[in-house]
């Protein structure tokens, strides 16, 4: 059986068109343009690319965006000062600190300085705490995990009561997506580098989320026939035939797994575009709260 494709690019485009239409309305009715600040520290190439992509997307949908950039040797105090300025800037409704930060900086402290009202990445410790607790609602949900849930919802895939297995427990993907699946009443198993006999665990999954950062690790015999497979992985592998000398590959052996799964995301073209779409959606949500349209 060949799996049906979950086209993240198309779903993200649809969401962005909805956001663009809402921005037009916000501007006309309230004179308000949602604003996003992406804080970049240092010159990590991947981070620079992600920030550029986010800015381009903001421009395309009519969202105001700035990208304060600090040198790699910026001090903790300098980074925190930028966050504090953005916290009180009325033109900015969302603040994203591009991770990873250079090693000498205290990431947890910096993320905790972001105003809760502008924490559109959902990484403030209070928001993460609320995400982990029953009957608590964070101000914002982290973008990649929220994008995964949105992909499932917009494809009409039921989550409640399903057996979900998440490969990976990172603070930015594995752990928060597990919490979101739990909030949606899935039965969730979280796997990591010390999990024994991974294929036996993953074969139990109705919904399998792969977020390990290991090229094509998930094989066809790791997957229950008919399962939904979401590939978060984005790993660069050398490819002399590609323009840039490398290409991006997921954590799932797409060619083989699509013959077993019921639904599958490609990578690239699956979760990646959804991350940015959710970032824009959260910034719009924050702006609407500022305008008093939403609580």
Active site residues: 54, 98, 121
Residues of this chain, 245-274, that bind ligand NDP according to CB under 6 A: 271-272
Shortest Å, Cβ 252 to ligand NDP: 11
Tokens of 162: 């399903």
Select the span of 17-25, 52-60, 61-69, 170-178 touching ligand NDP (CB under 6 A): 170-178
- Report the residue from 94, 168, 266, 269 that binds ligand NDP according to the rule CB under 6 A: 168
- Report the residue from 229, 232, 280, 287 that binds ligand NDP according to the rule CB under 6 A: 232
- Report the residue from 92, 172, 208, 285 that binds ligand NDP according to the rule CB under 6 A: 172
Alpha-carbon gap, residue 262 to 248, rounded angstroms: 23
Question: With binding defined as CB under 6 A, does residue 184 bind ligand NDP?
Answer: no
Shortest Å, Cβ 224 to ligand NDP: 18
| Residue 11 · residue 150 · CB < 8 Å | yes
Question: With binding defined as CB under 6 A, does residue 191 bind ligand NDP?
Answer: yes
Question: With binding defined as CB under 6 A, does residue 23 bind ligand NDP?
Answer: no
CA–CA–CA angle 233, 239, 240 (5° rounding): 160
Question: With binding defined as CB under 6 A, does residue 165 bind ligand NDP?
Answer: no
What are residue 94's DSSP bridge partners? Answer: 36
Alpha-carbon gap, residue 83 to 89, rounded angstroms: 10
Tokens of 33: 């343009």
How far lies 173's CA from each of 25, 49, 81, 98, 198, in Å? 33, 19, 28, 15, 19
Tokens of 94: 């969302």
Q: How many residues bind ligand NDP (CB under 6 A)?
A: 25
Helix/strand/coil percent split, the chain, to 5: 40, 15, 40
Nearer to ligand NDP, 82 or 272 (CB): 272
The residues of the shown chain that bind ligand NDP, judged by CB under 6 A, are 144, 167-170, 172-174, 191-195, 198, 211-214, 232-235, 271-272, 275
């Amino acid at each position: 059986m060949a799996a049906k494709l979950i086209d993240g690019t198309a779903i993200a485009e649809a969401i962005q068109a909805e956001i663009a239409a809402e921005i037009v309305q916000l501007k006309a009715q309230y004179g308000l343009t949602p604003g996003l600040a992406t804080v970049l520290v240092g010159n990590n190439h991947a981070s620079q690319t992600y920030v550029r992509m986010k800015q381009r997307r903001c421009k395309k949908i009519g969202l105001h965006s700035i990208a304060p950039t600090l040198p790699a040797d910026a001090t903790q105090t300098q980074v925190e000062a930028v966050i504090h300025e953005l916290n009180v800037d009325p033109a900015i409704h969302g603040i994203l600190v591009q991770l990873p930060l250079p090693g000498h900086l205290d990431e947890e402290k910096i993320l905790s300085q972001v105003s809760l009202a502008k924490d559109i990445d959902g990484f403030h410790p209070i928001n993460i705490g609320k995400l982990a607790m029953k009957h608590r609602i964070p101000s914002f949900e982290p973008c990649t995990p929220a994008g995964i849930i949105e992909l499932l919802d917009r494809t009409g895939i039921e989550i409640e009561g399903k057996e979900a297995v998440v490969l990976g427990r990172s603070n930015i993907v594995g752990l928060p997506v597990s919490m979101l699946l739990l909030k949606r009443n899935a039965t969730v198993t979280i796997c990591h580098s010390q999990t024994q006999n991974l294929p036996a665990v993953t074969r139990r999954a109705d919904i399998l989320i792969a977020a390990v950062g290991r090229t094509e690790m998930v094989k066809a015999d790791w997957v229950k026939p008919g399962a939904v497979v979401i590939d978060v992985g984005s790993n660069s592998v050398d490819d002399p035939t590609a323009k840039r000398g490398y290409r991006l590959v997921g954590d799932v052996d797409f060619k083989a797994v699509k013959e077993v799964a019921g639904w599958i995301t490609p990578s690239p073209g699956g979760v990646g575009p959804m991350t940015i779409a959710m970032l824009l959606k959260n910034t719009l949500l924050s702006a609407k709260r500022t305008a008093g349209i939403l609580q």
